[in-house]
Amino acid sequence: MKAFFALAAMVSTAQAYWLMGIKNFITTERIDPIVTPGKVAGHVHSVLGGSNFRFNTNTAALRQSECTSTPIPQDKSAYWFPHIFFQWNNGSFTSLDGGAVIYYLFSDKPGTTTAFPDDFRMISGDPTLRTYDPNSKAQKAVTFLCLDFNGKSTTYNEIPSVQCPSGVRAQINFPSCWDGKNTDSPDHKSHVAFLSGGPDSGTCSDPNYPITLPRIFMEVYWATGDWDKLRGQAKNPSQPFVYAMGDPTGYGYHADFMYGWDAGVLQKAVDNCHCNPYGDPTCCAQQGIFDLNTDGHCRITKSIDEQTTGTLAKLPGNNPVQPAGQAAIMMADPNAPGLISPVYAYTGDQPTKTGVVVTPGQTQPANNTPSSSAPSPSSSIATPPGSSAPAPSSSIAAPPSTSSPSSAATPSSSLAATSSSSSATTPSSSSVTAPSNAPSPSVVGSSSSVAAPQPSSTPTNSINPEPSSSSAGATTPAPSHTKPGQGPPSYPTGVPSVPHPSFPIPFPPAFPFPHAGSSSVPAAPKPSAPAGQPAQGNQSHGHHHHHGSGSGSGKTCSKKRNVKELELEARASGLKSHRRSRQRKAVVEA
């Protein structure tokens, strides 16, 4: 125990960070203002951050957001990543529940780290990858943690092919060295670089990238364990999960970031927020560096008339499953969904306003040619719209302008990761009903049981576009991840199955998986590398147990909170209600 606290004290003098547990995803749609500004994106993303997330957006627009899903209201940045689905034997898909935690890591020494400039944006990862290069820093930035809260959690470079009882956590580091000139680049990556030692260690020693930025590390938890009993009905029972771009490997995992912090706040934070060695931002808020909201939500209504969650006949867009072995081809979508306007922000379970379809969807002859390279992001944007419309959609035409946002209360968020869903409910774990004759997509938000899709002999992992199935758009604005073959919901989907807080606690954890900290903190036994995974020495890239190093001495700005206080805070932010709901569910099942 003494050794642990000695190491923790040493770490606190080298590396500062705070973390943000995200209450909910603000939307799950085919929108990507970096890669495909002004157009419907190629695949579905789940989005965190400011409510002014649109087809076109920039820092100025994000700062005018009515709300943000991060717990720090001054952070209205946009963060997004591909959603993940379970693929049934007949080729249909059902979306999973998830939650996210974002880390900002930086040196304890004031003046060492430079805040992002206005209109800064970047991407980490590559959606076309289907192989792993152990020498690539960019690929080392992506890892997957197979969670087992009652056993041993193990890190993989791909989506684990083993069953993970407590779910899978996708982990990604963003580059943190900048050329000091460009806020973007044609590939959205060349203006930044990873640290000299890899994604999470070293310095910005390359003269072409001399400026040290805050290092953003993002982990997204997916409740894969709930699906293990249904693997026998999956297209690939050994690994049934597929990312929205048709990736069953995880090598194509990626994430996008667009800067949207209020002016001056992030620089003040990286210079002065060094008061808690465990990532708790409370003492920084007590110093007046930024504010914290500990309860609330932020969502936007749909921009696209297309169902993106629940059970779907195919992945939205033109995204056939492309397995490991060679780079994937990103297909153009011949079917342009309708667009919805205006878009409204809301902080409750349901919006008070929704938009209407203003651009009808169009179907064109199938085109199997790869989509053209995405244009560079545009910085122009109309007055940031509010948010609206339930049913999603997608189209390659430029979206209509949207109206100014409706008034909405400023949301808050928590330090514990919770689910992306809001008003939708998670089904109980009742037995799977008999397969139906067709995989008719479930209505999002429906409480009725959904039968497991009927297996089909037609493969869907070919490069040719999968047959399009016209289905009604979602009738519930908040994303729903309906689990097929199960009975009426018994507890809200707003909270994923995370029995332990995702943020660190200041003592050796009783549960055997690592939490945030630094390379010296023995927060948990180091997981052994699985077969095929390159040894990384003391590093665990993408795994937030290792976060690089800095210099300077730590500071104490408030009384150190004890374990009980942190546990109470975790419960207050959602875990307590989740555990109670799980207990109620267990009683019902018994």
Taking only the tens place, the pLDDT of each residue in 140-167 is: 999 999 999 999 999 999 999 999 999 9
What's the pLDDT tens digit per position in 292-323?
997 779 999 999 999 999 999 999 999 999 99
Q: How far apart are CA 282 and CA 514, in angstroms?
A: 22
Residue 213 Cα distances to 19, 180, 192, 523, 579, angstroms = 16, 10, 9, 26, 38
Q: What pLDDT was estimated at residue 453?
A: 52
State both tokens at 488. Answer: 């009426």
Considering the chain, what is the average pLDDT of its residues?
A: 72
Pairing of the two strands 154-156 and 177-178: unpaired
Q: What pLDDT was estimated at residue 533?
A: 40
Strand residues in 386-499 grouped as ranges (E): 425-427, 489-492
Give the mean pLDDT of 120-135.
Answer: 98
Nearest to 133 by CA among 168, 159, 158, 160: 158
Give the mean pLDDT of 2-9.
Answer: 38
pLDDT band at 361 (very low <50, low <70, confident <90, very high): confident
Give the mean pLDDT of 465-488.
Answer: 36
Higher model confidence: residue 419 or residue 67? Answer: 67
With b meaning 16 or more CB within 10 Å and e meaning fewer, what string describes 128-155? bbbebeeeebbbbbbbbbbbbbeeebbb
Q: Find all residues with CB under 8 Å of 499, minimum gap 6, and list them.
A: 149, 166, 575, 579
> Residue with structure tokens 């199997």?
368
pTM exceeds 0.85? no
pLDDT band at 38 (very low <50, low <70, confident <90, very high): very high
pLDDT band at 365 (very low <50, low <70, confident <90, very high): low
Higher model confidence: residue 200 or residue 418? Answer: 200
Q: What pLDDT was estimated at residue 363?
A: 72
Q: Is the pLDDT of residue 233 over 60?
A: yes
Q: What pLDDT was estimated at residue 362?
A: 80
Q: Is the pLDDT of residue 500 over 50?
A: no
pLDDT band at 433 (very low <50, low <70, confident <90, very high): very low
pLDDT band at 364 (very low <50, low <70, confident <90, very high): low
Give the mean pLDDT of 424-448.
Answer: 34
Q: How far apart are CA 153 and CA 523, in angstroms?
A: 13
pLDDT band at 9 (very low <50, low <70, confident <90, very high): very low
pLDDT band at 14 (very low <50, low <70, confident <90, very high): low
Q: What pLDDT was estimated at residue 219?
A: 98
**How much of the chain, in percent, has pLDDT values that exceed 70?**
59
Give me the amino acid identity at 192: V
* Three-state helix/strand/coil letters over 314-381: CCCCCCCCCCCCCCCCCECCCEECEEEECCCEECCCCCCCCCEEEECCEECCCCCCECCCCCCCCCCC
pLDDT band at 452 (very low <50, low <70, confident <90, very high): low
pLDDT band at 587 (very low <50, low <70, confident <90, very high): very low
Q: What pLDDT was estimated at residue 295?
A: 78
Give the mean pLDDT of 321-331.
Answer: 97
Higher model confidence: residue 91 or residue 448? Answer: 91
Nearest 5°: the CA angle 482, 493, 392 is 55
What's the pLDDT tens digit per position in 242-289?
999 999 999 999 999 999 999 999 999 999 999 898 899 999 999 999
Give the mean pLDDT of 407-415.
Answer: 34
Helix, strand, coil shares of the chain as percentages rounded to 5?
10, 20, 70
> E strand or H helix at 178, and its extent?
strand 177-178
pLDDT band at 497 (very low <50, low <70, confident <90, very high): very low
Give the mean pLDDT of 18-45.
Answer: 97
Q: Is the pLDDT of residue 228 over 50?
A: yes
Q: Is the pLDDT of residue 88 over 70?
A: yes
**How much of the chain, in percent, has pLDDT values that exceed 90?**
56
pLDDT band at 525 (very low <50, low <70, confident <90, very high): very low
